[in-house]
Structure 1
Amino acid sequence: MLVIVDMQARLLPHLDGGERLSERVGTLLRAANLLDVPVVVTEQNPRGLGGTVDALLEELWSAKVVEKHTFDATLAPAFVDALPPAPATLWVAGAEAHVCVLLTVLGLLRLGYRVEYVADAVASRRAQDRAVALERAQQDGARLTTVETAIFGWLGSFRHSRFRDVLALLK
């Protein structure tokens, strides 16, 4: 399952690399849709921060969107209800790397999930916060990965019927 954390309209313009983040998360979402990877998306206080950015909305047709008011999404029952049973592998991306993404990753690890922290699909307002978040996630048991590694892992082989479609997303 792909977990996208708080890619919200009023948050992204303030992030270091927010535009690149939106692009990388969009690639993950398009690939997940092509490969039937389930997706859950969180929105932190959407009345205050706005909903998910417009650039990603068309990719959410198969996603479960969960509104939350906690920084750690695992404290929101609707989020936990949307997850497969542990110890499934969850790929996690979004914003901010050192707050909602990291706290959700730590919560998922406590619940017994295997977590792949998609390092090139997370951002924070400050680069140093992102760097510390990646280090902390790894120290606590998350595995760092990239958008392309996640996607090729979902494919498994160049013989996959959607290989060419997915490859086109990466060029």
Structure 2
Amino acid sequence: MSLLNAKTATLVIVDFQSRLMPAIHDGTRMVENAKRLVDAAKLLAVPVLMTEQNPAGLGGTVPELADAGPVITKMSFDSCAEPAFLEALAGDGELVLCGCEAHVCVGQTVLSLLEHKRRVVVVQDAIGSRAPESKEVALRRMERHGAEIVTTEMVVFEWLRTAAHPQFRPVSKLIR
């Protein structure tokens, strides 16, 4: 596999919803890292796609991320079961995923995207579950099936590639 490329990537934000986040282990840190990814994506012209699982029950996306990009509403845990989700991700670019829960909606979506022969990159410090062990098992499973596991900083600096990038200063400030 090659380095991540801002020109071919899409950032996918899965179910960062207001009624769910208080129950997620280390949820505040997750949201902070997802916000870093969104802000970097905006500075580097990386498209962002978001999902919301049953928003009538789980609420909308948390305010920190609410304006990040278009939202696909779904009832299936696997985002790929929603035709609009796959249509929005048409093409063969790499998909950088963050969200929750790692062992349910993120995990099922990742496994389905891999079945669709997509390059899937999961941001370990921007996904979560209620129980830490559920997240760990989900990460191992996704990796076994072909997902790449990375961190927020890895994504941001691979998207930049060089300190000579015109957006280096504003993007690198997101990490500090």
Classify the secondary structure of the residue corresponding to 1:55: coil
- The TM-score normalised by the length of structure 1 is 0.95
- Aligned pair 1:125/2:130, yes or no? yes
Classify the secondary structure of the residue corresponding to 2:99: strand
- After superposition, the C-alpha distances for 1:2-26 in whole angstroms (9 at most, x for unaligned) are 0000000000000111111111111
Classify the secondary structure of the residue corresponding to 1:25: helix
Within 1, Cα distance between the matches of 2:161 and 2:64?
28
- After superposition, the C-alpha distances for 1:70-101 in whole angstroms (9 at most, x for unaligned) are 10001100111110313x21100000011000
- After superposition, the C-alpha distances for 1:32-84 in whole angstroms (9 at most, x for unaligned) are 011100010000011110000012224x1xx1211011100011001111103
Structure 1: 5+ residue runs without aligned partners?
none
Q: Which residue of 2 aligns with 1:108?
A: 113
- Aligned pair 1:14/2:62, yes or no? no
Within 2, Cα distance between the matches of 1:44 and 1:21?
18
Question: RMSD in angstroms over aligned alpha carbons?
Answer: 0.8
CA contact (8 A) 1:64 1:82 kept: no
Q: Give runs of aligned pairs for residues 8-157 of structure 1, distance below 5 A.
A: 8-58=17-67, 60=68, 63-86=69-92, 88-157=93-162
Classify the secondary structure of the residue corresponding to 1:8: coil
Question: Identity over the aligned pairs, expressed in percent?
Answer: 46
CA contact (8 A) 1:10 1:49 kept: yes
- The TM-score normalised by the length of structure 2 is 0.93
Classify the secondary structure of the residue corresponding to 2:65: helix
Classify the secondary structure of the residue corresponding to 1:57: coil
Classify the secondary structure of the residue corresponding to 1:164: helix
Residue identity in the other structure for 1:83:
L
Q: Which residue of 2 aligns with 1:161?
A: 166
Moved beyond 4 Å, runs of 4+:
none
Within 1, Cα distance between the matches of 2:26 and 2:41?
22
Within 2, Cα distance between the matches of 1:65 and 1:56?
11
